[in-house]
Amino acid sequence: MTDRLGVQGRAARALIGVTAAWLAAAALPAHAANDELTLYTTREAALIQPLISAFSAQSKIKVNTVFVKDGLLERVKAEGARSPADVLMTVDIGNLMDLVDGGVTQPVKSAALESAVPANLRGADGQWFALSLRARVLYADRNQPLTSFRYEDLANPKWKGKVCIRAGQHPYNTALIAAMIAHDGEAKTEQWLRGVKANLARKATGGDRDVARDILGGICDIGLANSYYVGQMKSASAGTDARKWGDAIKVVRPTFAGAKGGGTHVNISGAAVARNAPQRANAVKLLEFLVSEPAQALYAQANYEYPVRKGVALDPIIGETIGELKVDPLPLTEIAKYRKQASALVDKVGFDQ
């Protein structure tokens, strides 16, 4: 759950600096005041509005934002050729790939996008692009003598009764399980998942910040959670309880031990140009803006996310607490194709029961 007031205030402060930097750079030409585009998004308004405002201030392109909590693919399909959607934005690679597989996106060829977004974080044919990253990291009791960790270690019997995690069927975890299948195969992943279940200190439930809460409460010693929650818990705007949770943990960047190379698993926020986009050119301009240096800095400063563009500074809290990532090199498309198998394994081993 997002601390909305904290995010909004922080985003507003970051917006002032980033918008000024962007306008000073004047990297894109101005457009007619009546230019516009329509964005369908599953991201909360507080997380994207500062970016949209900065884009509109520079480009003079009005963005009509439509928040679609559920059923984005079904809505765009139902609208068909008459859909007003120009850009489709989601959280989680699985949701983005559903749009591609559902045939409601179109390829984009852009040097600006291709130079800013690494190949493993975009579609090979330009059907989608990652805009920001969130790492699946290890929260550990701050007194634990851990400096490194492998995802495979979660199944080690030494952690029996000491692991906390949210539901296996949550997209954050099915994406990680899919990555494990991509690295180690389905049979080894099933064995691993059974081992993690055997090590649970409590039922797999709750949210990522609950992992830190339960570490503070002595229920567990370690658990998996997304990186940006660390920023939310440690920020000046966090509530008293959240700050206690953040202070109770240390953060370790896990890696995979498989033969395909080890890196930290990441998920994304990303976007695509809609197949029937009425304002295709403006849609591409928005995507290009979102991977520009000023916009990527805003992702880091306002949302505690990792930029996809190299060379953009991290938020100080994330930089000091977690640090730079060595991202798992497997293409997200390779990971995403195992999503259904991952979900089936969660049910097969009764992980959430």
Cα of 81 vs its chain's centroid, Å: 30
Q: How far apart are the first and last CA of the chain?
A: 23
| Identity of residue 257 | A
Q: Which residues lie below 8 Å from residue 74, measured CB to CB, with a gap of 6+?
A: none
For residue 46, give both structure tokens. 């507080």
Binding residues for Fe cation: 228-229
Sign of the four-CA dihedral 65, 69, 71, 73:
positive
Indicate the SS3 state at residue 270: strand
Inter-residue contact 327 to 253 (CB < 8 Å): no
Binding residues: 228-229
Distance CA 220, CA 207 (A): 15
Distance CA 277, CA 282 (A): 9
Distance CA 313, CA 326 (A): 15
